C-alpha cells in the first residue's frame, strides 16, 4: 500500500484509509477461510493471516485483504472475534431439549402437520450444527409455514438478533406476508 499522502492529491477522502471493520480472515498461504476465530486468545499471533477489511465511507465491494500489522486492523480483528464468539455462544445455547420444547409448544393450535414438525426439527438440528440447508419439495406441502415457524422461534428465543432475508418469487410474496402475520406476528 502507498502512503496516505500520495493519495491525498488524488481527491480521495481521508476516511477511506480508516478501517471500519474486519469481515473475515484467511491464512496467507492457504486461501481458505480461517478457523482461528472460535479459539482466539488476546495474545494470538495473527501474522500468518490476512483479514478482509471494509474501509470507512466505502462499500463492501471495495473491501481488501490486509495483514494484521496494517494500521487499525488489530482493533477491527478483536471486534470481529467478539462478534464471532457472541454468535457461537447464542447458537451453542440451543440444546435438543430447548428445541423439543419450542417445537412442541402450541404452534397456533397445532397448525403444523407431523411431517412439517419433523422438517422444523430438522432445520433446528442443522441450525445447531451450523449447517446451511434448503427446503425443497412439491408445492403446497408447507415450506413457508415451516420456515416462518423456524424464523419465529430463533428470533423470539434470542438465538439470533440478525434480520432474516427470505428470497421468494414475486408471485408468492403476499403468501409469505400472510403466513408471517397470521402465524407468528413477524411483520407489523
- DSSP symbols for 10-73: TT--GGGGSEEEEEEEEESSS-SBPS-GGG--TT---TTEEEEEEETTS-GGG-EEEETTSTTH
Q: Are residues 85 and 112 in the same domain?
A: no
Q: How many domains does the chain have?
A: 2
Between 183 and 140, where is the model more confident? 140
State which residues form the domain around 110.
96-184
Q: Is the pTM of this model over 0.75?
A: no
Q: What confidence tens digit (pLDDT) does each residue in 133-182 have?
A: 888 888 888 888 888 888 888 777 767 666 677 788 888 888 888 888 88
Q: What confidence tens digit (pLDDT) does each residue in 31-45 have?
A: 666 666 656 665 567
Q: Are residues 122 and 175 in the same domain?
A: yes
Look up the CATH number of the domain holding residue 85.
2.40.50.40
Which domain-ending residue is among 92, 110, 134?
92
Which domain-ending residue is among 77, 92, 107?
92
Amino acid at each position: 500500500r502507498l502512503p496516505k499522502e500520495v493519495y491525498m492529491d488524488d481527491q480521495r477522502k481521508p476516511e477511506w484509509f480508516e478501517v471500519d471493520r474486519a469481515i473475515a480472515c484467511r491464512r496467507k498461504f492457504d486461501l481458505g477461510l480461517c478457523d482461528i476465530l472460535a479459539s482466539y486468545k488476546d495474545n494470538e499471533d495473527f501474522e500468518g493471516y490476512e483479514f478482509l477489511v471494509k474501509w470507512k465511507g466505502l462499500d463492501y465491494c471495495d473491501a481488501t485483504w490486509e495483514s494484521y500489522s496494517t494500521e487499525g486492523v488489530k482493533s477491527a480483528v478483536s471486534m470481529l472475534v467478539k462478534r464471532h464468539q457472541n454468535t457461537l455462544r447464542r447458537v451453542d445455547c440451543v440444546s435438543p431439549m430447548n428445541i423439543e420444547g419450542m417445537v412442541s409448544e402450541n404452534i397456533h393450535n397445532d397448525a403444523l402437520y407431523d411431517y412439517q414438525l419433523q422438517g422444523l426439527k430438522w432445520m433446528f438440528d442443522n441450525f445447531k450444527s451450523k449447517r446451511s440447508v434448503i427446503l425443497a419439495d412439491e408445492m403446497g406441502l408447507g415450506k413457508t409455514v415451516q420456515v416462518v415457524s423456524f424464523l419465529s422461534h430463533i428470533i423470539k428465543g434470542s438465538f439470533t438478533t440478525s434480520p432474516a432475508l427470505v428470497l421468494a418469487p414475486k408471485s408468492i410474496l403476499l403468501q409469505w406476508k400472510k403466513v408471517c402475520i397470521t402465524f407468528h406476528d413477524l411483520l407489523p
